[in-house]
Amino acid sequence: MRLSRSLLPTLKENPAEAQIVSHRLMLRAGLIRQTASGIYAWLPAGLKVLRNISQIVREEQDRVGAQEVLMPTLQSADLWKRSGRYDAYGPEMLRIQDRHKRELLYGPTNEEMITDLFGQTVKSYKDLPQVLYHIQWKFRDEMRPRFGVMRGREFLMKDAYSFDLDYDSAVATYRRMLLAYLRTFQRLGVRAVPMRADTGPIGGELSHEFLILAPTGESGVFYDAALEELDWLDEPVDTNSPVALEAFFNRVTTPYAATDEMHDEAGWQAVPEERRREGRGVEVGHIFYFGDKYTRSMEVSVSGPDGNQLYPEMGSYGIGVSRLAGAIIEACHDDNGIIWPDAVAPFRAVILNLKNGDELCDAICERIYNTNEEAFLYDDRAERAGVKFADADLMGHPWQIVVGPRGAKGGKVELKRRATGERHEMSVDDALALVLAG
């Protein structure tokens, strides 16, 4: 994209309404704008981030055998009356009436809809297991929308739902999903720690939340420092083997890690004192196993091996895709701005033309830009170098390719790595090779 022709409205000043760093930086870097309380529009660079996150989430869901679907945002209230949750859900649910006075709602989650969909389409145990997911907007009328996209009212979520024949197979699915989550967060360039969690209004027995540690997080967390060194994904896991999945699950969940809601004194005392860590975290994912809670209440069964009807065992698995954009910034920034992990960045590099109108500078910039217009943001504005440098740091592109008249004479550019501040002079081809690698 050429910056001179892009909608990338960066701000010099901190917006007064933003209390935490990710919200400030998302506004300042021109990623989002608020359109109503807790509701945001994603501008071009922000949308690229959202798409990059979604794509990694999608690939890791597909990799463990989940199938992508797309369910609507609007749901019939009747579905929720069948499960008994329509009244129980409370004022977070946005209830709507259509012109025929039929009750609808803007989905805050999709257990009911997917259970109904499953019931319409799967009739026999032979078609189990099934894991389905979608990446779709949710609405929850949060009491206190705040922190920008971190606690919005409308937000993008990946939610997956699993249907298994029996408990053992449901637990294997749960563990496979936990693995998929760790792989997802690793690829996103952040560390999210799985913590034992309360099963809350969704109900059920087994649940983990994934938290990115950050001082501005809404959850208090307690964990064993051993977790800081543990590389959960250092050994490959055979996801078809229940034994391998069990070993993996134990390895990951053995060190103490709990949110304040689930913190227990006995478990805490068992952690050697010098290894006890307390902090705060942002919840970016939440997984549940809840058995036949919905299949039973909604009367959705399949024929079993012995001819009797049985209620499949379910789990649900959420990732806050739009919240992640903010949470990643909480974890990856400095005083000058965002430091995007490579996989999430809206552009791999910005090309900084330090002397617009200089024939040589313009030619080099154009040449670089033309190699890959998707990957590069070309700062071709007639602005001072200082402004361009500041905006580049603010927007957080992993690389900055600086093209100035002195270097240009010898065919050289300066390549700066945003994360480390390292800069080196090199040929255009060498810079391109580095920036476009991997």
CA 162, CA 316: separation in Å to the nearest integer? 6
Q: Is 85 in the site for ligand ATP (CB under 6 A)?
A: no
CA 121, CA 46: separation in Å to the nearest integer? 37
User: Exposed (0-12), middle (13-18) or buried (19+): which is 120, by Cβ within 10 Å?
Assistant: exposed
Q: Looking only at residues 349 through 368 of this chain, which bind ligand ATP when binding is defined by CB under 6 A?
A: none
The dihedral built from the CA positions of residue 39, 43, 49 and 55, taken in this order, carries a sign that is positive
Cβ proximity to ligand ATP: between 152 and 337 the closer is 152
Residues near 162 by beta carbon (within 8 Å), at least 6 away in sequence: 129, 130, 131, 170, 173, 174, 177, 314, 315, 316, 317
Site string for ligand ATP, 250-289 (x = CB under 6 A): ---------------------------------xxxx---
Instruction: Name the residue whose CB lies closest to ligand ATP.
Output: 320
Site string for ligand ATP, 157-196 (x = CB under 6 A): x---------------------------------------
| DSSP state letter for 12 | S
Cβ proximity to ligand ATP: between 152 and 189 the closer is 152
Tell me which of 40, 106, 155, 289 binds ligand ATP, using CB under 6 A. 155
Cβ proximity to ligand ATP: between 136 and 372 the closer is 136
Angle 44-63/167-188 helices, nearest 10 degrees? 140
Cβ proximity to ligand ATP: between 105 and 408 the closer is 105
**Cα distances (Å, whole numbers) of residue 123 to 117, 129, 134, 165, 307:** 11, 12, 22, 12, 12
CB of 264 to ligand ATP, least distance (A): 19
Cβ proximity to ligand ATP: between 284 and 365 the closer is 284
Torsion angles phi and psi, residue 433, rounded to 5: -60, -45
Q: Is 107 in the site for ligand ATP (CB under 6 A)?
A: no
First and final C-alpha spacing in the chain: 21
Tell me which of 23, 134, 151, 412 binds ligand ATP, using CB under 6 A. 151
Tell me which of 129, 148, 152, 315 binds ligand ATP, using CB under 6 A. 152
Q: Looking only at residues 111 through 150 of this chain, which bind ligand ATP when binding is defined by CB under 6 A?
A: 140, 142
CB of 393 to ligand ATP, least distance (A): 27
Residues near 119 by beta carbon (within 8 Å), at least 6 away in sequence: 295, 298, 299, 300, 301
Q: Is 323 in the site for ligand ATP (CB under 6 A)?
A: yes
Query: 309: which 2 tokens?
Result: 């009807």
**Residues near ligand ATP, by CB under 6 A:** 109, 140, 142, 151-152, 155, 157, 283-286, 318, 320, 322-323
